[in-house]
């Protein structure tokens, strides 16, 4: 049976639910276990995220490893992790606001804390290089373009 790819339409076929979100292909939602698995893979292979020109290779590797683990294709683990990190940061900020502290209990929170540290360390390094360039007007900008090359 064929369904139209109309944004906002929802069709149910037994246990399978297909949601069209304004795009030509249906969106698959990950379970909490699958999200944890993706975050674990990113932390495990995070060293490759930080190396020169390594981000594109890193995301292709994560896409392949995660797809193999799920036994289905995965379209964009980079945007999925960015969304997961934004949601995690929002949740932590809310916890700090409500109770004055955020607990890093549970494997998902610990894994996301490790991934956040990796992303922030790379961002901080690039910030320092830009600052040095501004202060000394040296060819550090070339180094930045090489490091951030994707």
* N-to-C CA span, the chain: 41
How many structural domains comprise the chain? 2
In a domain, 36, yes or no: yes
Residues 25 and 35 in one domain: no
pTM for the structure as a whole? 0.65
The answer on pLDDT for 19 being more than 90 is no
Residues 16 and 38 in one domain: no
Residues 85 and 102 in one domain: yes
In a domain, 97, yes or no: yes
Residues 47 and 24 in one domain: no
In a domain, 133, yes or no: no
The answer on pLDDT for 18 being more than 60 is no
12: domain range? 1-29
In a domain, 22, yes or no: yes
Residues 37 and 81 in one domain: yes
pLDDT band at 11 (very low <50, low <70, confident <90, very high): very low
pLDDT of residue 14: 43
Residues 18 and 69 in one domain: no
Residues 15 and 77 in one domain: no
The answer on pLDDT for 129 being more than 50 is yes
pLDDT of residue 134: 64
pLDDT tens, residue by residue, 55-108 = 889 999 999 999 999 888 888 899 999 999 999 999 989 988 888 887 778 899
The strand pair at 10-13 and 16-19 is best described as antiparallel
The answer on pLDDT for 141 being more than 90 is no
* Residue located via tokens 């360039």: 133
Residues 24 and 37 in one domain: no
Query: How many C-beta atoms lie closer than 10 Å to residue 41's C-beta?
Result: 19
Residues 74 and 55 in one domain: yes
Whole-angstrom Cα distance, residue 131 to residue 122?
Answer: 14
Residues 46 and 114 in one domain: yes
Bigger pLDDT: 106 vs 146: 106
pLDDT tens, residue by residue, 24-65 = 555 668 899 999 999 999 999 988 887 767 788 999 999 999
């Amino acid at each position: 049976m064929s369904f139209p790819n109309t944004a906002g339409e929802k069709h149910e076929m037994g246990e399978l639910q297909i949601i069209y979100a304004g795009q030509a292909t249906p969106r698959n939602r990950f379970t909490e276990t699958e999200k944890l698995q993706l975050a674990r893979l990113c932390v495990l292979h995070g060293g490759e995220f930080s190396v020169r020109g390594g981000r594109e290779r890193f995301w292709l590797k994560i896409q392949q490893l995660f797809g193999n683990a799920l036994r289905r294709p995965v379209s964009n683990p980079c945007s999925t992790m960015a969304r997961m990190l934004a949601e995690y940061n929002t949740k932590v900020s809310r916890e700090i606001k409500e109770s004055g502290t955020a607990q890093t209990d549970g494997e998902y929170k610990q894994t996301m804390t490790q991934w956040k540290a990796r992303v922030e360390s790379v961002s901080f390094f690039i910030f320092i290089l830009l600052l040095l360039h501004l202060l000394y007007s040296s060819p550090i900008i070339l180094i930045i373009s090489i490091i951030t090359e994707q």
